[in-house]
A = this chain, B = another copy of it.
Amino acid sequence: MDEEDSGLWLIGLGPGDLDLMTVAAVEKSKKCDYRFLEGYTALLPDNQLEKLTGLVGGFEKVMRPGVENPKEILDLAKKSKVALMVVGDPLQATTHVDLQLRAEALGVNCHIIHGISITTIVTGAVGLQSYRFGRQVTLAYPYGEYLATSPFNLILENRERNLHTLVLLDLDPTGMGVEIQKPMSPKVAIDVLIRSAKKIGVDIDDWKIVLCTDMGGENQTI
């Protein structure tokens, strides 16, 4: 591990069970002067928050504005070691790729410590081959009457090529990333799929959907 005095470390926590943090993630988070937990792209289960404090020390939570407009974090990282801890793998979300680019533009050292991503776990856990998955999609909350059908179209394209789709469910009903996160329930997800299918005129009665929640402390239903 390097001995730099300042910089930003984007640190992956893995899928929510902190036993699945890497040794490097624990060690580096401990050594940072400031620690932030990113609460916008994914959620750490409540019962793990205290455990995280015990493992690496105290931290502050940041939401979307703090991450997408990260003046405070980057200013700190110019003079001290700052950890931004992210559930999953930090570079799976474009938000953090953007943060990395901003840091580099400001001459702030930016390091990545990878974590296990849910995108890795799901394919094996459901007994399907990772090679048979097409492009992944995120199903967004509908905004009032507006329903985006592009995720549904991508699933259709994968199906036409006989591929599975990993569908990630939205966390943020407002789309603003500021309030309390609310993971989309399966009921809402199915409703979005059915409404999308109706809008496009496709019959999805025979589709097979595998529902996974809390992977890595897990709970599966078909």
Interface residue ranges, A against B (CB under 8 Å): 1, 12, 14-15, 17-24, 26-27, 89-92, 94, 96-97, 112-117, 119-121, 123-125, 127, 129-138, 157, 161, 163, 216
By a CB distance below 8 angstroms, the chain B residues around A161 are 135, 157
On whether A120 and B117 interact (CB within 8 A), knowing A19-B24, A22-B14, A130-B92, the answer reads yes
Supposing A22-B22, A23-B26 touch, asked if A90 and B124 sit within 8 A by C-beta, the answer is yes
Q: A89-B124, A120-B119, A216-B114 are in contact. Are A23 and B21 (CB under 8 A)?
A: yes
- A114 adjacent to B121 (CB under 8 Å): yes
When distances are taken between beta carbons in the complex, the residues of chain B under 8 Å from A91 are 121, 123-125
Chain B residues contacting A12 (CB-CB under 8 Å) are: 116
Distance to closest chain B CB from A72 (angstroms): 24
Among B17, B18, B22, the residue within 8 A (CB) of A21 is B22
* Chain B neighbourhood of A163, CB < 8 A: 135
Which residues of chain B have C-beta atoms less than 8 A from A90's C-beta? 124
Q: From residue A218, how far is it (CB to closest CB) to chain B in Å? A: 10
Indicate if the CB atoms of A133 and B135 lie closer than 8 Å: yes
B124 touches A97 (CB 8 A): yes
**Chain B nearest CB, measured from A157 CB (Å):** 7
Further contacts, 9 of them, CB under 8 A, given A90-B124, A91-B123, A97-B124: A19-B27, A20-B114, A22-B22, A22-B23, A23-B23, A92-B120, A114-B116, A119-B119, A119-B130
A28 to B, closest residue via Cβ = B19
Residues of chain B with a CB closer than 8 A to A132's CB: 135
Select from chain B the residue with minimum beta-carbon distance to A89.
Answer: B120
Q: How far is the CA of A135 from the CA of B20 in the complex (A)?
A: 26
Residues of B within 8 A of A15 (CB): 114
Query: Which residues of chain B are within 8 angstroms of A124 by Cβ–Cβ distance?
Result: 89-92, 96-97, 112
Q: List 14 A-B contacts (CB under 8 A).
A: A1-B19, A18-B23, A19-B24, A20-B23, A23-B23, A90-B124, A92-B120, A92-B124, A97-B124, A97-B127, A97-B129, A116-B120, A119-B130, A131-B136
